[in-house]
Structure 1
């Protein structure tokens, strides 16, 4: 049971944290736009084969107290107390056709997948509207070929992220994010991506069964720059698989993978209603 002095100290800490907690931006509740995007990504982490695509990009952002949708994630706040947050988080990966990947040729395709689960966040530092956070997402991976859905293990990515935000005036605002995380996965997830069944083994692709554990280190940076009705977004992410438990898999052709992209959109639909929140 807390003593009176301990309780007083705890309440004082919350009080001191309060002015920082409510430093927010006034932003449109939702925005919609469209523009070109250039993105480059490997077929899967560890693959040498890359995809360089020029695609139309639909920009959509929704902000409310109960749900936020942006270009990074879908967030549903579940609990918040001072610097501690508990949210619901979503991630997506694209499918891979094995006939178009030399290392996987003759194997089953990798279905597109969705990662869903809680993310725990703890704010280490906040000044005005910029902040430094520890984040711990824990996601169940659900893969689908649109005919069936199958569960493919769990992934967790404890990391640290710095969010720099600044209002530049004249309807301009900028957000830059820098982060690093250590990714861990269950044996089922690792085997889905890197396992080779005996029936799929060849002279250059021996059978391999993956174990659970460390998957890779991840380093990322992104920028979001709003200029009136226009938005410029860019991101870079590098994965380092040198110490991964799956490094010996014949499907790991390189221990370094890079994903990056650049987007330019015209946000021609914006709500008149605004909300006080952080982008």
Structure 2
């Protein structure tokens, strides 16, 4: 679920430092680098605990005509025009980690999730606009990373964002507002309390389909040098009016997630991207 996709969001932000610059015809076809980040995420929408991570991971940017791995994620781009594109994309999520969540004590741990599905993006003022507006409509199937055959449901995550495309050496920044919807199976993954997990302060609850959370986000980034990029993000999630707001696993209405990091490009291709 994208509301938990902080790992992908942080390291794709390193790719966006180039993507956020005004379009140039000489971008390399691929870039290989390493990113380091510190992340504090709400364990799940409605949780009263944070999951904190320090991450050092490699990343790849690939700007192929069909296959893409960039600031919008990794996947197969089926359609592309100046104002619209359709991807078949993939993603992943951070788990709740080894930390015991008080609300879920004695229950199964929330594991890492994988996602796959189509994403439609509309650029009302054009993809090359400096202040680019993006309407994103992703629909993805969700699976467990440890057991890809275990289907955890479907998510639909509409989002509207604006991104200031930075000049060289200057800050770029953006903001977005969106929502996360899930089917009954996804709602049960995060909020259901089965009869065997009932406690005096945790009554039984059946997960429901519908709104999971509202989301408000912001990001900022800058090219410090041609190879070194600095980036940061913050996000608020709210379960006000959500379908599973009455679950005993919901301990607070609003929660924050944030992170800061550096990305360093180790190598670029001599071949140039076609667009």
- Conservation of the 8 A alpha-carbon contact between 1:175 and 1:223: yes
Alignment partner of 1:207 out of 204, 208, 230? 204
Distance change >3 Å, CA 99–CA 53, structure 1 → 2:
closer
What's the Cα RMSD here?
2.2
Deviation at 1:173, TM superposition (A): 6.7
Q: Please give the TM-score of this superposition, normalised by the length of structure 1.
A: 0.82
Q: Which residue pairs with 2:251 in the alignment? A: 253
Q: Which shifted more, 192-201 or 36-45?
A: 36-45
Q: How far, CA to CA, are the matches of 1:235 and 1:210 in structure 2? A: 30
Correspondence 1:161 to 2:161: yes
Q: How far, CA to CA, are the matches of 2:138 and 2:266 in structure 1? A: 33
Q: How far, CA to CA, are the matches of 1:34 and 1:59 in structure 2? A: 6
Correspondence 1:24 to 2:23: yes
Unaligned segments of structure 2, at least 5 residues: 1-21
Unaligned segments of structure 1, at least 5 residues: 1-22
Per-residue CA deviations over 1:117-167 (Å, capped at 9, x if unaligned) read 111122211364442121111111111325x53111111011212122133
Per-residue CA deviations over 1:234-274 (Å, capped at 9, x if unaligned) read 11121111111111111111111211111113222222222
Q: How far, CA to CA, are the matches of 1:119 and 1:239 in structure 2? A: 21
Greater C-alpha Rg:
1
Per-residue CA deviations over 1:187-217 (Å, capped at 9, x if unaligned) read 1100111000011000011100021111111
Q: How far, CA to CA, are the matches of 1:251 and 1:31 in structure 2? A: 42
- The structure carrying a bigger strand percent of its residues is 1
**Structure with the larger RCO, 1 or 2 (CA within 8 Å, 6+ apart):** 2
Q: Please give the TM-score of this superposition, normalised by the length of structure 2.
A: 0.83
Alignment partner of 2:194 out of 192, 197, 201? 197
Q: Which shifted more, 98-107 or 210-219?
A: 98-107
Q: Which residue pairs with 1:216 in the alignment? A: 213
